[in-house]
Structure 1
Amino acid sequence: MENPLVLLDSQNSCTTEEFSLSEPRGVVEPGPGPDARIVYIDGAFDLFHAGHVEILKLARGLGDFLLVGIHTDQTVSANRGAHRPIMNLHERSLSVLACRYVDEVIIGAPWEVSKDMITTFNISLVVHGTVAEYNNFPKGKEDPYAIPISLGIYEQLESPLDITTTTIIRRIVSNHEAYQKRNEKKAESEKRYYEDKTFVSGD
């Protein structure tokens, strides 16, 4: 069975590839050299923020080429809830690709990093941050990094910033609630002012 993937490089050239599990092929050109150390990191990258930038910078420093897998909307919803993601796959992909540390993205990356995928893209190292939405995998689901862990090519990186999409959403909600309360208080104050105001007749 073949899974269609779209790979987008840092020059914004888009190529649709058929990712065949039985017929591995190299990363599409333009891409890394034959001896390049390719680092792979994946995720939702929803509401792209400073925490994402810092972990991508850290990952890029571990190799010659950074390949970023971006999960589909369906995959994100299945693992984070029906109200996620906030941004759709296209928006999230463009946000990640705009980051200077990213060389290429895989739009619609598989949830699990398989051996065939590692071979297909010639991945040298798979990384994941300590601060992430997906660190507590749903009950009954296998660790998506089980294969790279068994191959000894997995590394968990200490996230430079303690920021997630959830903390950003909570901040937005909190600020919105404070804004509403401030406006309600202002409206009530104005209402009392006009109710207590005494108008002097000119007659």
Structure 2
Amino acid sequence: MDHAERCEAVRHCRWVDEVVPEAPWVITEEFLQKHQIDYVAHDEDPYVSAGIDDVYGYCKSQGKFLPTRRTPGVSTSELLERIVSRYRARGFDKKLRKMGHAELAAEGSDWDDSRPGSPGPAR
């Protein structure tokens, strides 16, 4: 997703009241006060920035930080592999054509090894 799509997705989360699209990387007291932010949610790992050990350090020290957790058994890499595999097996071709996006179909694409003269899929 691009930034606008991520903001829109977060906007639909149950516990989100408002999304601040242009939030700074380093969260400060001034930023929290300006936007009346109660909590900042992110994974717990410290994120280092120029001269700062943890960009969320202030939020953590004030008890305004909610750590997010990864969902056990859900792997972004595995999901991407499944999508690519299904695409290459032409699993989305019918739906893409129905949606008016036949140009995105796997059949006849550059890697399609059933196409005459095609070099086949990258291995």
TM-score by length of 2: 0.51
Match of 2:57 among 146, 149, 162: 146
Q: Which runs of 5+ in 1 are unaligned?
A: 1-86, 188-203
Larger radius of gyration: 1
1:118 and 1:182 mapped to 2: Cα distance? 48
Distance 1:180-1:103 versus aligned 2 partners, 3 A rule: same
Matched residue count: 93
| Structure with more strand by fraction | 1
Call closer, same or farther: CA 1:154–1:103 in 2, change over 3 Å: closer
Task: Find the partner of 1:105 among 4, 11, 19.
Answer: 19
Select which of 52, 65, 69 maps to 1:155.
Answer: 65
Alpha-carbon distance between aligned partners in 1 of 2:67 and 2:23, rounded to the nearest angstrom: 20
Does 1:173 pair with 2:81? yes
Distance 1:89 1:139, change over 3 A: closer
Partner of 1:105, secondary structure, is coil
Residue 123 of structure 1 aligns to a residue in which SS?
Answer: coil
- The CA distance in 2 between the partners of 1:108 and 1:182, in whole Å, is 39
Deviation of 1:104 after TM superposition, in Å, equals 1.1
- State yes or no: 1:90 paired with 2:34: no
Off by >6 Å, runs of 4+ in structure 1: none
Cα separation, 1, equivalents of 2:20 and 2:4: 11
Cα distance in 2 for residues equivalent to 1:170 and 1:163: 10
What's the C-alpha RMSD, in Å, of the aligned pairs?
A: 3.7
Change (3 A) 1:144 1:98: same
Report deviation, 1:113. 0.7
Query: Which one has more relative contact order, counting CA pairs under 8 Å at least 6 apart?
Result: 1
Please give the alpha-carbon distance, in whole angstroms, between the structure 2 residues aligned to 1:154 and 1:163: 28
Q: Scaled by the length of structure 1, what TM-score is found?
A: 0.34
Equivalent position amino acid for 1:145 in 2: Y
Could you tell me how far 1:111 is from its partner in structure 2? 0.9
Task: Report matched runs for 1:31-110 at 5 Å.
Answer: 87-110=1-24
CA drift at 1:144: 0.9
